[in-house]
Amino acid sequence: DANLNRQLTDALKGAGYVVDQAFDGEEGHYLGDTEPYDAIVLDIGLPQMDGITVVEKWRAAGKAMPVLILTARDRWSDKVAGIDAG
The domain tally of the chain equals 1
**Mean pLDDT value of segment 16-44:** 95
Q: Is the pLDDT of residue 30 over 70?
A: yes
This prediction's pTM: 0.84
CA distance 60 to 62: 5
CB atoms within 10 A of CB 29: 24
Per-residue pLDDT of 53-71, as tens digits, reads: 999 999 999 999 999 988 7
Domain that holds residue 58: 2-85
What CATH number should be reported for the domain holding residue 15?
3.40.50.2300
